[in-house]
Amino acid sequence: MLDYAVKLTRQPQEITAADVQSLREAGFEDRAIHDICAITAYFGFVNRIADGLGVELETDPP
């Protein structure tokens, strides 16, 4: 799962059906594979929005 998430994050153009099949062979069902993909993509999206808007992390709690 983590190898898939890293590949989807760093080289999304290289994801193939074989990557999905590897997840199935590891015991993940289609719903779980969808969730892994969606969550990975969502975090990538949100991080790029934050980076694109120059959002900075808070250093001290309010």
Q: Is residue 44 part of a domain?
A: yes
DSSP state of 55: -
- Number of structural domains the chain divides into: 1
Q: Is residue 17 part of a domain?
A: yes
Characterise 42 by phi-psi region: left (phi > 0), alpha (psi -120 to 50), beta (else).
alpha
Q: Is residue 57 part of a domain?
A: no
pLDDT of residue 35: 98
Q: Is residue 45 part of a domain?
A: yes
CA trace torsion 24, 28, 31, 36 (10° rounding):
-100
Q: Is residue 18 part of a domain?
A: yes
Q: Is residue 62 part of a domain?
A: no
Domain of residue 41: give its range.
2-52
Q: Is residue 19 part of a domain?
A: yes
The answer, yes or no, to whether residue 61 has pLDDT greater than 80, is: no
Sign of CA dihedral 48, 53, 59, 62: negative
The 10s digit of each residue's pLDDT in 4-37 is 999 999 999 999 999 999 999 999 999 999 999 9
Q: Is residue 48 part of a domain?
A: yes
